[in-house]
């Protein structure tokens, strides 16, 4: 019945497909979904696979189920307050609240309703039992009266939670059909169809507060919090996406550890035992990750990028690459390189080329310079570097779409594999590095 759900959620870059629907169906079959709030938490468990997806998920959910469109930078309460769904809900529930209720409070109530889960209802029912026990011995007439009122109300809630799946689906379908005829499309659950268990009377009226509807609180918190929205994998490395880039870099460590039969040792020992060959094992140690980092820190065009680059590789060093050496150059590499950022300690390129070919080399620079600067010495140096080290990549902070405007980039790109200095670019570079043996 939610056949359009994957399509809508995909618009928000959430990986949903028919399997999502099957799981959802399974959850319904097992009675996990009885309210709209349940739908929110179950779908969240199925769809969200990363904290960065919680933000888009919340928006997609409000869009699909409630027809509430939350714009970028919008606050949830504002988006709700101006929505048609909310207006309708308010009209349907007018008798529940007085006229003097503030819009803000009303939105809170709406959120409580939307995110009311079976667990919340259960909590209330449990609470009712305690309450009943407390009042059991009292003969007071007034107490008796209020007891009845809340009981009938709570029974309704209980009834709702015991609704069979067929009934629930039937009701949901009803609402959907109604909505379709009333205004084009949309898949509201809240409306005149009376799907909401809270439509009659409402919990708040009886003084039992719906306990902590976490979903609403969370939905509100999530929006506009950068933590819950995806980082732009295609934006040039900056302070915000350093961690995403680090995750991409992490892919560089090829860890495999296993035990292997040590044949020479087995033979030696076996001969000593007079032909009794007992297998001797040796464990294969991890591949050591060695990195050379060559950074262009000359020229103001690179200034903005140096800090995030250093932050990235510093993190890399503390996390997983223990052998990381950094060198600097200005615009392009000739037959020397600098050992310090101020470019005062000079080192002939031969010394660099003497290093173990297992080093992975990252060159970071915009590769933009006057044609005469990229002379033969420089071109030969790049050639020598790629010859000595098997795994060399160039990361360029210049957006790729401008590369073909710059002659020097064109030339260097032919000599060294070049990628954008973005988390995605780094990911590609690492994948390419791993492919080369």
Partner 1 sequence: MAKTEFWTGSEKYLCDMELAQAFHMARVLGMPLLIEGEPGTGKTELPIQYAADQNLELFVYATGSKSNVEQFVARFDHVKYLRDSQIEILNAQREEKGLETRMSTGDRDPENLADYVAKGPAARAYSTPHSVLLIDEIDKAPREFPNDLLYALSHRKFIMPESEEVIEVSEEEMPVIIITSNREQELPAAFKGRCIYHYIQFPEPEIMRDIVSKHYPSIETKIVDVALDIFYQFRKLGLERAPTTRELLNWLKYVKTFTTKKAIAKIQKLEGIGALIKTQTDLERIQKMVLKNEADYNRRSGPN
3-state secondary structure of 345: coil
* Distance in angstroms (rounded) separating the CA atoms of residues 152 and 249: 61
Binding partner 1 by CB under 8 A: which of 10, 26, 180, 431?
26
* Distance in angstroms (rounded) separating the CA atoms of residues 389 and 168: 65
3-state secondary structure of 283: strand
Map the footprint of partner 1 across residues 308-337, applying CB under 8 A: 319
Q: Which residue from 261, 246, 224, 200 is spatially nearest to 77, judged by alpha carbons?
A: 224
Does 119 bind partner 1 (CB under 8 A)? Our answer is yes
Map the footprint of partner 1 across residues 356-415, applying CB under 8 A: none
Does 45 bind partner 1 (CB under 8 A)? Our answer is yes
Does 117 bind partner 1 (CB under 8 A)? Our answer is yes
Does 424 bind partner 1 (CB under 8 A)? Our answer is no
Map the footprint of partner 1 across residues 211-250, applying CB under 8 A: 212, 214, 218, 247, 250
Of the pair 15, 348, the CB lying nearest partner 1 is at: 15
Binding partner 1 by CB under 8 A: which of 207, 255, 300, 435?
255
Binding partner 1 by CB under 8 A: which of 8, 21, 23, 403?
23
Does 49 bind partner 1 (CB under 8 A)? Our answer is yes
Does 19 bind partner 1 (CB under 8 A)? Our answer is yes
CB of residue 424 vs partner 1: minimum separation in angstroms? 13
3-state secondary structure of 391: strand
- Check: CB of residue 190 under 8 Å from CB of residue 40: no
CB of residue 258 vs partner 1: minimum separation in angstroms? 7
Does 168 bind partner 1 (CB under 8 A)? Our answer is no
CB of residue 241 vs partner 1: minimum separation in angstroms? 14
Does 353 bind partner 1 (CB under 8 A)? Our answer is no
Q: Which long-range contacts (CB under 8 A, 24 or more apart) does 382-388 make?
A: 382/333, 382/412, 382/415, 382/416, 383/415, 384/349, 384/353, 385/333, 385/352, 385/353, 385/361, 385/416, 386/415, 386/416, 388/353, 388/355, 388/357
CA distances to 114, 196, 227, 355 from 38, rounded to whole Å, are 9, 13, 24, 60
Q: What is the DSSP string of 46-60?
A: HH--SGGGHHHHHHH
Of the pair 27, 416, the CB lying nearest partner 1 is at: 27
- Check: CB of residue 245 under 8 Å from CB of residue 237: yes
- Footprint of partner 1 (CB under 8 A): 15, 19, 23, 26-27, 30, 32, 41-42, 45-46, 48-51, 54, 117, 119, 122, 212, 214, 218, 247, 250-251, 255-258, 276-279, 281, 286, 319
């Amino acid at each position: 019945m939610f056949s359009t759900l994957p399509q809508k959620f995909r618009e928000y870059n959430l990986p949903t497909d028919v399997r999502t629907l099957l799981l959802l169906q399974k959850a319904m079959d097992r009675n996990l979904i009885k309210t709209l709030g349940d739908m929110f938490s179950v779908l969240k468990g199925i769809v969200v696979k990363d904290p960065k997806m919680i933000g888009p998920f919340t928006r997609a959910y409000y869009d699909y189920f409630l027809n509430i469109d939350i714009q970028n930078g919008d606050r949830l309460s504002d988006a709700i307050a101006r929505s048609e769904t909310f207006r309708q809900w308010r009209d349907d529930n007018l008798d529940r609240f007085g006229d003097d209720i503030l819009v803000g409070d009303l939105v809170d109530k709406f959120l409580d309703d939307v995110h009311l889960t079976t667990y919340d209802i259960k909590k209330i029912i449990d609470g009712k039992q305690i309450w009943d026990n407390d009042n059991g011995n009292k003969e007071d007439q007034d107490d008796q009266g209020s007891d009845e009122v809340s009981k009938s109300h709570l029974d309704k809630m209980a009834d709702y939670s015991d609704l069979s799946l067929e009934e629930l689906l039937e009701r949901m379908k009803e609402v959907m059909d109604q909505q379709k005829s009333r205004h084009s499309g949309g898949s509201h659950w809240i409306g005149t169809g009376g799907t909401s268990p809270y439509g009659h009377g409402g919990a708040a009226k009886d003084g039992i507060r719906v306990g902590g509807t976490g979903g609403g609180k969370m939905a509100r918190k999530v929006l506009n919090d950068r933590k819950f929205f995806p980082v732009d994998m295609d934006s040039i490395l900056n302070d915000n996406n350093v961690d995403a880039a680090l995750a991409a870099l992490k892919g560089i460590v090829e860890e495999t550890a296993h035990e292997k039969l040590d044949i020479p040792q087995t033979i030696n020992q076996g001969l000593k035992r007079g032909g009794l060959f007992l297998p001797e094992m040796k464990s294969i140690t991890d591949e050591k990750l060695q990195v050379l980092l060559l950074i262009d820190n000359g020229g103001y065009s690179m200034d903005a990028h140096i800090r995030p680059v250093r932050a990235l590789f510093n993190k890399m060093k503390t996390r997983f690459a223990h052998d990381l050496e950094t060198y600097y150059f200005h615009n392009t590499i000739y037959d020397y390189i600098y050992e310090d950022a101020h470019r005062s300690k000079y080192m002939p390129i031969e010394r660099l080329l003497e290093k173990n070919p297992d080093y992975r080399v990252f060159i970071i620079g915009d590769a933009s310079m006057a044609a005469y600067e990229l002379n033969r010495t420089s071109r030969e140096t790049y050639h020598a570097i790629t010859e000595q080290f098997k795994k060399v990549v160039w990361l360029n902070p210049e957006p790729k779409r401008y590369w073909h405007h710059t002659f020097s980039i064109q030339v260097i790109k032919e000599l060294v594999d070049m990628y954008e200095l973005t988390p995605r670019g780094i990911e590609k570079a690492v994948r390419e590095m791993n492919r080369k043996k």
